[in-house]
């Protein structure tokens, strides 16, 4: 059984740890800033915790799962064992001080308290050597059915696409709810529409586009702009509508 040093105790770290602590791998220790944040996770795992670099236990692999900005800061404290980070956007080279290093990126959005079937989450991996690739592939396959080897450039593009497909779509729903709330309308009226929109995701989304901008129904667009009071919301509405029209015309 391989022992893992887990760095971080946030959303991604928590989901990885809960799913990888099994007969092949065990989380040996969690290294994170505050015990308070890590509390639930270390209770669940029944493992050691430290924020003191001198008290890091001997392990076989380190998984760094902290904000991109913090990776640089933590690596100076870490022992020279095979080490991976879980970021979609940070290159592999940030870890080059280690002999064996790589990336284990789960292409999914995680919230600590929301359950998740990690077997269905695609993992994109990258390593500095073929030898370590095989080890990391094994570790990733222990977590998920879908493992792909991709370089840093490719992973960054997929991560960017994921921001559009997940964070920005969700933000559109946030704005839709805001519009409903501000006009005392029930957001749940929109649920059948939202369900319909996303039940069709196996299709090419450009084929499913509808709405005033796609129809170039300028009267409706003007009417909408009139009733939007918030300056930034108006700017988003206007800019996205223009972009929908432009994208449509590129695809004709």
Residue from 48, 50, 110, 137 touching a copy of itself (CB under 8 A): that is 110
Q: What are the angstrom distances between the C-alpha of 107 and each of 91, 176, 243?
A: 15, 26, 27
Question: Is residue 120 near a copy of itself by the rule CB under 8 A?
Answer: yes
Query: What is the torsion angle, in degrees rounded to the nearest 10, for the CA atoms of residue 180, residue 181, residue 185 and residue 190?
Result: 40
Interaction between residue 192 and a copy of itself (CB under 8 A): yes
Contacts of 70 (CB under 8 A, 6+ apart): none
Q: Residue 73 interacts with a copy of itself (CB under 8 A)?
A: no
- From the CB of 129, what's the least distance to a copy of itself, in Å? 24
Q: Which of 72, 70, 71, 77 is nearest to 52 (CA)?
A: 77
Is residue 212 near a copy of itself by the rule CB under 8 A?
Answer: yes
Q: With H, G, I as helix, E, B as strand and everything else as coil, classify residue 130.
A: helix
**Which stretch in 13-21, 24-32, 35-43, 196-204 sits in contact with a copy of itself by CB under 8 A?**
196-204
Site for a copy of itself in 5-34 (CB under 8 A): 11
Closest CA to 50 of 8, 85, 1: 8
Sign of the dihedral through C-alpha 46, 51, 52, 56: positive
| 193 lies in the site for a copy of itself, by CB under 8 A | yes
Q: How many CB atoms lie within 10 A of CB 216?
A: 13
Binding status of residue 246 toward a copy of itself by CB under 8 A: yes
- Piece of 15-23, 36-44, 126-134, 165-173 that binds a copy of itself (CB under 8 A): 165-173
- Judged by CB under 8 A, how many residues of this single chain contact a copy of itself? 91
- Nearest approach in angstroms of CB 176 to a copy of itself is 4
Segment lying near a copy of itself (by CB under 8 A), choices 31-39, 48-56, 134-142, 171-179? 171-179
């Amino acid at each position: 059984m391989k022992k893992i040093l887990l760095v971080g105790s946030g959303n991604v770290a928590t989901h990885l740890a809960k799913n990888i602590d099994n007969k092949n791998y065990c989380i040996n220790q969690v290294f994170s800033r505050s015990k308070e944040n890590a509390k639930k996770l270390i209770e669940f795992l029944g493992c050691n915790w430290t924020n003191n670099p001198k008290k890091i236990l001997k392990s076989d692999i380190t998984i760094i799962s902290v904000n991109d900005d913090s990776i640089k800061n933590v690596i100076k404290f870490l022992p020279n064992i095979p080490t991976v980070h879980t970021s979609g956007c940070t290159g592999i080279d940030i870890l080059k001080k280690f002999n064996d290093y790589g990336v284990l990126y789960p292409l999914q959005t995680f919230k600590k308290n929301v359950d998740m079937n990690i077997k269905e989450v695609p993992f994109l991996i990258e390593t500095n050597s073929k030898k370590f690739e095989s080890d990391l592939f094994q570790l990733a396959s222990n977590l998920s059915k879908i493992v792909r080897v991709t370089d840093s450039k490719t992973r960054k593009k997929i991560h960017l696409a994921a921001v559009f497909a997940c964070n920005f779509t969700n933000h559109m729903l946030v704005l839709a709810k805001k519009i409903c709330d501000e006009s005392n309308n029930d957001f749940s009226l929109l649920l059948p529409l939202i369900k319909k929109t996303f039940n069709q995701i196996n299709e090419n989304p450009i084929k499913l586009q509808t709405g005033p901008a796609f129809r170039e129904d300028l009267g409706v667009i003007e009417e909408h702009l009139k009733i939007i009071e918030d300056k930034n919301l108006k700017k988003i509405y206007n800019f996205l509508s223009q972009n929908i029209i432009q994208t449509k015309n590129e695809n004709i």
